[in-house]
């Protein structure tokens, strides 16, 4: 039996192309490919166009927890790829800004900055190893510069709904803390007079799956609740298109490899590994690259594929344009279908039960299209 193939980002069929299509629809600048099925659907003159990103709600979690006839799964029209790494920092920035990973630089949870001489958790502005707060002028692009803020189309009012901890998304912002609050806020906006484009980011079910895993009752109950709530909202809303997707999926972690115990490999590195635990990045000391690659593959070749960064760049894994390739070091690894994750050096490591960022099932994301008028008609029949 052949081994399942790793999933490469497809920049003509990815989450980025949702944003490209919506940017074009709103008259915002766009240099990326659009999705024909979404473009065709948007041709109808909807009162409200709502885009919702449910963090982590990829194809795999849906198929593990919901039957084919479930409301969410029944409205899947296409399967898309995430970014690589398939992590929230990278994927949601591409979704919000309509930029390729190499154009925005938010490539992973942790990045190494030469000017600081340390790795930084870029969402938290904290040293990745010690947790110490770090203050510096970040060279990364503005991850809150949403394409929808540059809309030339004036018949739609732009609105956003975000959790309160997301800094920088203040313009037109509504804050929601729980899944129910997100749906309540959406219902209120869609019921207002006038036409609205609403961009929504909900951090669930990602948090629940990190804590409990993908295949577990609490995750299933949450996904059932999301599906049921969306069906109820669509049935109560007039002339509204709901575009639902995720930034990435998740898999159940099936083992942990403690990188902190790998003294021989660590001694060949210029800094601790960074990026993420299922897609770590390595900066190797001069003259040690061959030895490092040989030893890494010998020890971890079953659980991780080690790529030379320059090979990934040539194959456009991070896009075909942008200025942030220097952040990726010499090698990038991807977890395989053994579903292992590294425990990277830090004072308080996370042993996630569910995780993502590699080039396996967590790369696949659904495109879900729901026309509220069709839902209402079906309910009446």
Predicted pLDDT of residue 363: 98
Alpha-carbon 259 to chain mean position: 25
**pLDDT at position 167 over 70:** no
- Sketch out the chain's domains with CATH numbers: 15-97+141-250+360-380 (3.40.720.10), 107-137+254-351 (3.30.1360)
CA nearest neighbour of 84 among 139, 6, 32: 6
- pLDDT band with cut points at 50, 70 and 90 for residue 178: very high
Predicted pLDDT of residue 170: 55
- pLDDT band with cut points at 50, 70 and 90 for residue 319: very high
Predicted pLDDT of residue 171: 58
For 38-86, write each residue's pLDDT tens digit.
999 999 999 999 999 999 999 999 999 999 999 999 999 999 999 999 9
Choose the weakest-confidence range: 185-189, 244-248, 342-346. 342-346
Predicted pLDDT of residue 227: 98
For 187-206, write each residue's pLDDT tens digit.
999 999 999 999 999 999 99
Q: What is the mean pLDDT of the chain?
A: 95
**pLDDT at position 377 over 90:** no
Neighbours of 116 (CB within 10 A): 12
Q: How many residues does the chain have?
A: 381
For 131-147, write each residue's pLDDT tens digit.
999 998 999 999 989 99
Predicted pLDDT of residue 348: 76
Burial class (CB in 10 A: 0-12, 13-18, 19+), 294: exposed
| 3-state SS, residue 296 | helix
- pLDDT band with cut points at 50, 70 and 90 for residue 346: confident
Predicted pLDDT of residue 74: 97
**pLDDT at position 172 over 60:** no
Question: What's the rounded mean pLDDT across residues 210-237?
Answer: 97
Quote the CA–CA distance of 153 and 17 in Å, as a whole number.
Answer: 19
Predicted pLDDT of residue 4: 82
**pLDDT at position 294 over 60:** yes
Give percent above pLDDT 90 in the chain. 91
Burial class (CB in 10 A: 0-12, 13-18, 19+), 104: buried
Predicted pLDDT of residue 350: 83
Distances from the Cα of 222 to the Cα of 182, 225, 251, 368, 370, angstroms: 14, 5, 16, 18, 20
CB-based contacts of 303, cutoff 8 Å, min separation 6:
255, 257, 335, 336, 338, 340
CA nearest neighbour of 357 among 117, 83, 93: 83
Give percent above pLDDT 70 in the chain. 97
Burial class (CB in 10 A: 0-12, 13-18, 19+), 164: exposed
CA nearest neighbour of 120 among 106, 102, 99: 106
**Nearest 5°: CA angle at 203, between 199 and 209?**
145
For residues 244 and 230, is the Cβ–Cβ distance under 8 A? yes
- pLDDT band with cut points at 50, 70 and 90 for residue 369: very high
Distances from the Cα of 117 to the Cα of 7, 114, 177, angstroms: 33, 5, 36
**pLDDT at position 27 over 90:** yes
CA nearest neighbour of 377 among 284, 271, 238: 238
Predicted pLDDT of residue 225: 98
- pLDDT band with cut points at 50, 70 and 90 for residue 217: very high
**Exposure on the CB side of residue 374, measured as CA atoms within 13 A:** 10
**pLDDT at position 235 over 90:** yes
**pLDDT at position 298 over 70:** yes
To the nearest 10°, report the CA torsion of 293, 298, 304, 307: 20
- pLDDT band with cut points at 50, 70 and 90 for residue 100: very high
């Amino acid at each position: 039996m052949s081994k399942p193939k790793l999933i490469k980002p497809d920049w003509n069929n990815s989450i980025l192309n949702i944003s490209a299509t919506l940017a074009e629809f709103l008259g915002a600048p766009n240099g990326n490919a659009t999705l024909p099925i979404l473009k065709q659907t948007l041709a109808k003159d909807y009162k409200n166009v709502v885009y919702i990103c449910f963090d982590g709600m990829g194809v795999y979690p849906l198929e593990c927890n919901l039957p084919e006839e479930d409301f969410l799964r029944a409205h899947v029209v296409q399967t898309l790829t995430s970014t690589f790494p398939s992590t929230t920092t990278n994927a949601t920035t591409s979704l919000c800004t309509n930029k390729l990973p190499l154009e925005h630089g938010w490539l992973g949870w942790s990045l190494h900055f030469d000017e600081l001489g340390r790795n930084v958790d870029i969402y938290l502005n904290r040293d990745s190893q010690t947790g110490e707060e770090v203050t510096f002028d970040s060279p990364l692009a503005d991850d809150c510069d949403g394409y929808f803020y540059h809309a030339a189309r004036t018949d739609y009012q732009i609105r956003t709904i975000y959790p309160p901890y997301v800094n920088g998304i203040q313009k037109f912002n509504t804050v929601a803390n729980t899944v129910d609050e997100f749906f309540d806020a959406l219902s209120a906006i869609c019921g207002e007079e006038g036409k609205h484009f609403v961009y929504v980011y909900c951090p669930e079910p990602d948090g629940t799956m990190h804590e409990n895993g993908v295949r577990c009752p609490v995750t299933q109950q949450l996904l059932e609740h999301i599906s049921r709530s969306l069906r109820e909202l669509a049935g109560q809303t007039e002339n509204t298109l709901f575009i639902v997707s995720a930034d990435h999926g998740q898999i159940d972690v099936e083992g942990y490899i403690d990188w902190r115990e790998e003294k021989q490999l660590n001694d060949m590195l210029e800094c601790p590994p960074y990026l993420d635990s299922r897609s770590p990045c390595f900066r190797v000391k001069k003259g040690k690259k061959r030895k490092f690659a040989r030893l890494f593959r010998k020890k971890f070749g079953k659980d991780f594929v080690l790529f030379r960064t320059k090979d990934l760049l040539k194959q456009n894994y991070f896009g075909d344009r942008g200025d942030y390739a220097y952040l990726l070091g010499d090698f990038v690894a991807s977890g395989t279908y053994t579903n292992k994750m590294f425990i990277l050096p830090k004072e308080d490591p996370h042993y996630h039960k569910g995780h993502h960022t590699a080039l396996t099932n967590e790369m696949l994301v659904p495109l879900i299209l729901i026309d509220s008028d069709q839902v209402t008609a079906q309910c009446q029949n």
